[in-house]
Chains A and B, each alone.
Chain A
Amino acid sequence: DIVMTQSPLFLPVTPGEPASISCRSSQTLLDSEGYNHFNWYLQKPGRAPQLLIYLCSSRPSGVPDRFRASGSGTECTLKISTVEADDVGIYYCMQGLHTPHTFGGGTTVEIK
């Protein structure tokens, strides 16, 4: 199985400041068409995860543009340009290229 490793595990943030979370995969997630199969989700307590970023750089409609990501075949970094109080929760990366699809262990983001 592909192992997804996130860092840090815990991220205290200050509203108005930037933040970033890294995800590394044990194998390349770059396919033959050039797509990098990292996806980012935010889960708030009692809620289903919400897709923030897909294919390491694309943002679904409705997701604020303060969320951006970029990376290579074995890593993808999520960046929040200016953290807001509503951004707290657990962030997960996930790969959807190889079965079984696997998640990172999660990064808990809290306000300092």
Chain B
Amino acid sequence: QVQLQQWGAGLVRPSETLSLTCGVYGGSFTGYNWTWIRHLPGKGLEWVGEINHHGATNCHPSLEKRVTISLDTPKNQFSLTLTSVTAADTAVYYCARGSRFRFLPIWGQGTLVTVSS
């Protein structure tokens, strides 16, 4: 049974960089799309981006200048960095494993990231 465990700083200062990592336990990267989703407070869910096992990425156009999604295959981890954060980036961030059809059956536990000075 594949499980995702995520970690990272819960408080980030404005203009600094948000960094989150998702560990993949009980499975490999091959054949899946590794995805980041965020839940903005008072709003719904927003797709942030994804990376496949070859390292090819897709990111939300509104974030792509600030987002990097990367893979560390030997460590069975993938990561999200978001630069120049503002209060609007405050959200619960989830990592998830996507199928080739992009539905998401497996999720991490979520990390609340607050952008505040």
Q: Residues of A at under 8 Å CB distance from B?
A: 1, 35, 37, 39, 41, 43, 47-51, 54-55, 60, 92, 94, 96-97, 99-106
Extra contacts, 9 of them, besides A48-B110, A54-B99, A100-B47 (Cβ < 8 A), are A49-B94, A49-B104, A51-B104, A60-B105, A92-B44, A94-B47, A101-B47, A103-B45, A106-B45
A-B contacts, 20 of them at CB < 8 A, read: A39-B103, A41-B45, A43-B45, A48-B96, A48-B108, A48-B109, A49-B37, A49-B45, A50-B107, A51-B104, A92-B44, A92-B45, A94-B103, A96-B103, A97-B102, A99-B58, A100-B61, A101-B47, A103-B44, A103-B47
Nearest CB of B to A31, in Å:
9
CA distance A60 to B98 in the complex (A): 13
Total interface residues on B, CB under 8 Å, equals 23
